[in-house]
Amino acid sequence: MRSKLVAGNWKMHLSATEGVALANAVVSALGESADLDVVVCPPYLAIPAVKESVRNTPVKVGAQDVFWMEQGAFTGKVSAKMLSNLCIDYCIVGHSETRGRFGKLEVPASTVSHFAETDETVNLKIKALLYHAITPILCVGETQEERDAGKTVSVIQTQLEGALAGIDPAEMYGIVIAYEPVWAIGTGLTCASDEADRVCGLIRTRIAEAGSQDVADNIRILYGGSVKPDNARDLFSRPEIDGGLVGGASLEANGFSAIVAAAK
Q: 54 to each of 16, 51, 183, how far by Cα in Å?
A: 13, 6, 33
Q: 12 to each of 5, 67, 192, how far by Cα in Å?
A: 22, 17, 27
Question: Could you tell me what percentage of the chain is helix, strand and coil, using 3-state DSSP and rounding each to the nearest 5?
Answer: 45, 15, 40
Which position among 95, 117, 142, 146 bears the catalytic label?
95
Q: How far apart are CA 147 and CA 131, in angstroms?
A: 35
Q: 21 to each of 87, 127, 248, how far by Cα in Å?
A: 20, 33, 16
Give DSSP secondary structure letters for 108-165.
-GGGGGG----HHHHHHHHHHHHHTT-EEEEEE---HHHHHTT-HHHHHHHHHHHHTT
- The verdict on whether 13 is a catalytic residue reads no
Which position among 97, 142, 180, 240 bears the catalytic label?
180
Amino acid at 67: F
- The verdict on whether 95 is a catalytic residue reads yes
Q: How far apart are CA 221 and CA 139, in angstroms?
A: 10
Sign, Cα dihedral of 71, 75, 77, 78: positive
CB 128 within 8 A of CB 144: no
Instruction: Provide the annotated active-site residues.
Output: 95, 180
